[in-house]
Amino acid sequence: MDGGFFLAQLDFFPAMDYDHMQEEEVTETIVHHPVHVRPRRLPRPRVFRQRLVLEHMSDRKIVDDYRLTRTAIHQLYHEIRDDIDPTTHRSHAVPGLAKLLTVLQFLATGTFQHVLGGNSGVDQATVSRHLSQVLHALKKCVRQHIAFPTGEKEQRRVKQDFYKIARLPNVLGAIDCTHVALTPPADRELQYRNRKMGHSLNVQVVCDANLRIRDVVTRFPGSCHDSYILSNSALGRKFAEGQNQNGWLLGDAGYGSKTWLLTPLAVPRSDAEKRYNEAHIATRCTIERTFGVLKSRFRCLHISGGSLQYSPEKVADIVLVCCMLHNIALKHHLDIDIVVPPEVDIASSDRGTDASKGNAVRRKVIHDFFSEPRHP
């Protein structure tokens, strides 16, 4: 018998149950391992801290914390509620009034966001979002509360209020600039470096005799001079084009004398010039007092609180909103301790053709109104 044939015959044996052997082999190869079941992770319970409720505070505490009265806060909230109220009442959404109170407390104190979050019942990230949202909503209301007098009746009232201070006629506003410290962007650091080697925005403000802010410009960096800001502002262009011919602005000598802007004399010689300087300084002091009240009421703007840690664009919005809230506080007759204003600078910087024309106007004012002593 051939060997190959014998091996072929061994491959199949008729008496053997091959089907049963295959089933046994399959049964033996299947191994049932125990399934590893991970323990179910329990959800962490959500903790909702107590949030600000205006009705639980006294009137004195409301003014101390938010610099506005209860009535003023409610009126302001109704003006912007469509922009700050949550779109849903699910998931314990933060009410719009609580957002407004958080931002008002930041403007009044200038404290850090995590401290505000602890007081308001939210975390730091939520405070940051609320700050942007509320500032954007408040900016829409600025024109309703800050406006330069344009009507004849309103201008007459403004002039009368200024005249009562030191009998300086036809004054529509006192103008000056103030610096608000900030942390500058790294790529624009030199633009925001002011003459005192700090970093700031140079904010131009015009006020009336009652310290009410009538015009504000917040977009210029600290390196810009006051006269440059005025010449590039909308109000300065209107005066230069003769659109406001019914009165003057009062400014310090840094602006230079113009036909529509009166500045003090550097070296007064006659008694009339001395009386003019005294009246000018007494009347223009309203803008210094306005800065003192503004920065005392909203400490985020004061240098004692350090620099604002936001972009220049956001700092400009903060300053603009603070000016608007300042007018609202005056409307509700809120008093506040005033920071001592700096000394008035009467150093001369008159120059150019505009200065010579402005000097002629100034001499006429001195001759017409201060040539003789006036008694109340």
* 236-251 residue pLDDT tens: 999 999 888 789 999 9
Answer yes or no: are the C-beta atoms of 44 and 101 closer than 8 Å: no
Answer yes or no: are the C-beta atoms of 102 and 127 closer than 8 Å: yes
pLDDT digits over 90-148, tens only?
777 888 999 999 999 999 999 989 888 888 888 899 999 999 999 999 999 999 999 99
pLDDT digits over 2-14, tens only?
554 444 444 545 5
Could you tell me which residues come within 8 angstroms of residue 63 by beta carbon, excluding any fewer than 6 positions away?
A: 69, 334
Could you count the other beta carbons within 10 Å of the beta carbon of residue 218? Answer: 21
- Average pLDDT value for residue range 253-257: 86
Answer yes or no: are the C-beta atoms of 330 and 161 closer than 8 Å: no
CA-wise closest residue to 250 among 138, 154, 321, 346: 346
3-state secondary structure 199-229: EEEEEEEEECCCCCEEEEECCCECCCCHHHH
Phi, psi of 177 (to 5 degrees): -120, 150
pTM: predicted TM-score of the whole model, two decimal places: 0.80
pLDDT digits over 10-62, tens only?
454 555 555 555 555 544 555 555 556 666 777 877 766 777 778 888 999 99
Q: Whole-angstrom Cα distance, residue 184 to residue 157?
A: 41
Lowest mean pLDDT among 195-204, 304-313, 355-364: 355-364
Q: Is residue 342's pLDDT more than 50? A: no
Q: Whole-angstrom Cα distance, residue 193 to residue 224?
A: 9
